[in-house]
Amino acid sequence: MALEPGADPYSKSMRETIKTVEATRSRRMTEEFTRITADQKADLLKKYHPDHKAGEMVEIKVGVSKGEKTPKEVEAVIQAYSRLEPKSFDLSDIDFDVDVLVIGGGGAGSSAALMAHEQGAKVLLTTKLRLGDANTMMAQGGIQAADKPNDPPSRHYLDVIGGGGYYNIPELVRALVLDAPDVIGWLQDLGTMFDKTADGTYVTIHGGGTSRRRMHAARDYSGAEIMRTLRDEVLNRGIEVVEFTSAIELLKDDKGKCAGAVLFNMETEEHFVCRAKTTVIATGGAGRLHVQGFPTTNHYGATADGLVLAYRAGAPFIFMDAIQYHPTGAAYPEQILGLLVTEKVRGMGAQLVNFDGDQFIYPLETRDVVSSGIIRECRERKKGIATNTGMVGVWLDSPMIDLKHGPGTVKKALPAMVRQYERCDIDMTRDPILIYPTQHYQNGGVIINDRAEAGIGNLFIGGEAAGGIHGRNRLMGNSLLDILVFGRRAGLNAAALSKKTKIGKLTLKHTEDYHKELEAAGISREKISPMLLPDYRTPDTKERQKGQVPLGGAV
């Protein structure tokens, strides 16, 4: 950015509060803020967590999870009509005929594709952006696995289920924690470069809600390191990948089981029929729906497409009313608003500090609790720090890390973070950074079992689109783990099942039926999903585009 040399990236009023933060720092270095009790947590969540804000959650009126609640923004894409006309769409011409169709090219999709391919299945991976353009690539902090002598997987189980508010589906947590060490071994075997000591022991640290240090990291490019390696491997194995192509509707056969999908080439706007013996949905989350107008840490394509497809085909949801707000999204400056400031910053000792230079919450409570604490501090107690654009946040005292662990620690352990702020002329090793919660993760999703099956036959789901694993609140480092555990299970089981599967006549009758339900519920015909990509056009642009016909005319 083009700041004059020596110019302050922070406004005068922000600089004043930084001085307060600096003044209290030496006192806080030795101060540990008390963790709050279970009752206090419950009260804090009820009053300040965005999920509990009145009027934001609405009841789903159609489909198998009728009566359950979800944010308005999610409801809008769930209760919408297909991009296809199901009655007249021609399914007789099969463009792709495969054993396993994988929808989504992130960590879950790639690991599913690798596993299915290894079993000898003919695999097609379709993704609406490029292979690897996914939230996996953006995950910084790390991946949990109980693989140290003091940390049995049962301990991991306890942390996951307590963090999830005891709502988690036990068999899924069991699968998660018992597969975890094998996932680490698999990543090691693929040649990922995680932080290790000289004898090969993984360096592990705490994350919010962990009782053992079990976060494995690759500096702060943990997800990127996993994703670029999986992508390299998918390409090396010669798995067929179709990019810039989304799945816009699942297909079923006349026995009512999933039988592939209709694919849409987003560049040429052509439709293709893909018949598949088994299908894996690995389309990730919903951050780009911007629930309650929150900024998001999520990648460009996180628009809940897989949820829409699976739900229309009859797969039920769980916990679709539990959205995770990451406590530390960038609140300043404007160009990085909402981007992730990894939990590792807190894991390494940076405290959350208010206008008065005081701590107000233990920094490694679970994410829902920390987020609610920050919202309370800013909204009710009015002890946030305002920026010049009207955003309010609290300080994350990042300079504490080098003070605790020695100069150069932040640069070495958090290069992505340092770079992100350097691009804005902020030196996070010297100055604190301003943060506020940001929409980060969908805790719920489509219910799966421990084989990653979605319950409608021949359909598997891996990654963030699946629900039940994390209860109502996921812990840091369990998402990179979850996508690989259930991505791999989805791929393995989909390949095995494909060997026994014979697909009958293809149909979109389920879409027709869903349309009838929508009509009966009085849903407007103008509502169409999946969204595929968020719409960031300005109102001016939309106005000027009105009435346009495609180039080449409309004949």
Partner 1 sequence: MAAKKAATKPKAKKAAKDAGPEMVDIFIMGKKYDVPKGLTIQKALEYAGMTLLRGCGCRGGFCGACGTVYRTAGDYKLKVALACQTVVEDGMYLTQIPFYPANKAIYDINKLEPVLEDVVQCYPEFMRCVQCGTCTKVCPQDIDVMQYMATAMRGDITRTADISFDCIMCGLCASRCPAETVQYYVGILNRRLYGKYIAPPAKHVAERIKEIKASKFDREIDDFMKMDQKELQKIYEARDIEPEDLAAETATAASGEKND
Q: How far is the CB of 217 from partner 1 (least distance, A)?
A: 9
Nearer to partner 1, 41 or 252 (CB): 41
Alpha helices in 237-327 (DSSP H): 305-312
Torsion angle, alpha carbons of 453, 458, 463, 464, to 10: -90
Separation in Å, CA 391 to CA 295, 388, 513, 548: 11, 7, 45, 37
Of the listed pieces 114-122, 210-218, 310-318, 496-504, which binds partner 1 according to CB under 8 A?
210-218
How many residues at the interface with partner 1, by CB under 8 A?
106
Distance separating alpha carbons of residues 3 and 312, to the nearest angstrom? 51
Task: Show the tokens assigned to 72.
Answer: 């308005």
Nearer to partner 1, 147 or 453 (CB): 147
Three-class secondary structure of residue 99 per DSSP: strand
Q: Is 271 a catalytic residue?
A: no
Residue 66 CB coordination number (10 Å): 12
Is 120 near partner 1 (CB under 8 A)?
A: no
State which of residues 33, 89, 272, 300 lies at the interface with partner 1 (CB under 8 A): 300
Is 219 near partner 1 (CB under 8 A)?
A: yes
Distance separating alpha carbons of residues 361 and 358, to the nearest angstrom? 10
Site for partner 1 in 2-61 (CB under 8 A): 2, 38
Strands 445-447 and 317-318: antiparallel
Going along 254-388, which residue ranges are E strands? 258-265, 270-281, 317-318, 323-330, 352-353, 385-386
Q: How far is the CB of 168 from partner 1 (least distance, A)?
A: 10
Nearer to partner 1, 192 or 439 (CB): 192
CA triplet 328, 462, 324: central angle to 5 degrees? 25
Nearer to partner 1, 145 or 289 (CB): 145
Q: How far is the CB of 133 from partner 1 (least distance, A)?
A: 4
For residue 496, give the H/E element and its range.
helix 478-498
Q: How far apart are the first and last CA of the chain?
A: 48
Site for partner 1 in 460-499 (CB under 8 A): none
Is 536 near partner 1 (CB under 8 A)?
A: yes
Whole-number CA gyration radius for the chain: 24
Q: How far is the CB of 405 from partner 1 (least distance, A)?
A: 5
Catalytic residue among 346, 440, 470, 489: 346
In sign, the C-alpha dihedral spanning 416, 417, 423, 425 is negative
State which of residues 339, 403, 506, 523 lies at the interface with partner 1 (CB under 8 A): 339
Separation in Å, CA 377 to CA 39, 44, 361, 369: 19, 11, 9, 12
State which of residues 182, 427, 513, 517 lies at the interface with partner 1 (CB under 8 A): 182
Strands 57-59 and 445-447: unpaired
Site for partner 1 in 403-462 (CB under 8 A): 404-406, 409, 412-413, 415-416, 419-420, 423
Of the listed pieces 92-100, 353-361, 398-406, 429-437, which binds partner 1 according to CB under 8 A?
398-406
State which of residues 336, 341, 459, 503 lies at the interface with partner 1 (CB under 8 A): 336
Q: How far is the CB of 506 from partner 1 (least distance, A)?
A: 28
Nearer to partner 1, 310 or 361 (CB): 361
Nearer to partner 1, 289 or 348 (CB): 348
Closest of 511, 398, 485, 479 to residue 82, by C-alpha: 511
ω into 333 cis (within 30 of 0):
yes
Q: How far is the CB of 324 from partner 1 (least distance, A)?
A: 17
State which of residues 88, 92, 268, 548 lies at the interface with partner 1 (CB under 8 A): 548
Nearer to partner 1, 108 or 413 (CB): 413
Of the listed pieces 80-88, 91-99, 298-306, 510-518, which binds partner 1 according to CB under 8 A?
298-306
Nearer to partner 1, 6 or 149 (CB): 149
Q: Is 326 a catalytic residue?
A: yes
Distance separating alpha carbons of residues 548 and 231, to the nearest angstrom? 39
Catalytic residue among 49, 326, 440, 470: 326
Print the binding letters for residues 226-255 with partner 1: x by CB under 8 A, - otherwise: --xx--xx-xx-x-----x-----------
Active site residues: 326, 346
